[in-house]
């Protein structure tokens, strides 16, 4: 696990990346936090309907349930603040 981050913060950051169409960052966050066990976390998220795997695109995407979970985590103070508009415009 990443020092200084709680599991809720890690999940919030990972789901935030996925919600912003950055599936590689989603995987990297989980891999850095959980090492080889990151795939167990992803399978659990899929099983709970928080993310879904798209064979066509070969990556995970956040679901409506995942967005609900992300919102609940962020309202509870876990995770990241929204990016400033200027940072999004630079992409």
Return the residue matching tokens 């659990």.
44
pLDDT average, residue stretch 29-54: 96
Rounded to the nearest integer, the mean pLDDT of the chain is: 86
- Tell me if residue 61 falls in helix, strand or coil: strand
Per-residue model confidence as pLDDT tens digits over 59-70 = 999 999 999 999
What is the DSSP secondary structure assignment for residue 56, as one 8-state letter? T
- pLDDT grade for 48, boundaries at 50, 70 and 90: very high
pLDDT of 2: 42
Per-residue model confidence as pLDDT tens digits over 77-87 = 887 665 555 44
Nearest to 65 by CA among 50, 43, 45: 50
- Is 87 exposed, middle or buried (CB count within 10 Å of its CB: 0-12, 13-18, 19+)? exposed
Rounded to whole angstroms, how far apart are CA atoms 58 and 3? 30
């Amino acid at each position: 696990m990443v020092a200084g981050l709680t599991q809720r913060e890690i999940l919030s950051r990972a789901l935030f990346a996925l919600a912003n169409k950055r599936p590689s960052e989603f995987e990297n966050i989980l891999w850095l936090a959980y090492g080889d066990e990151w795939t167990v976390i992803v399978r659990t998220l899929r099983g709970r309907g928080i993310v879904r795997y798209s064979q066509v695109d070969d990556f995970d995407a956040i679901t409506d349930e995942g967005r609900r979970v992300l919102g609940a985590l962020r309202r509870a103070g876990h995770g990241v603040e929204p990016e400033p508009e200027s940072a999004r415009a630079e992409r």
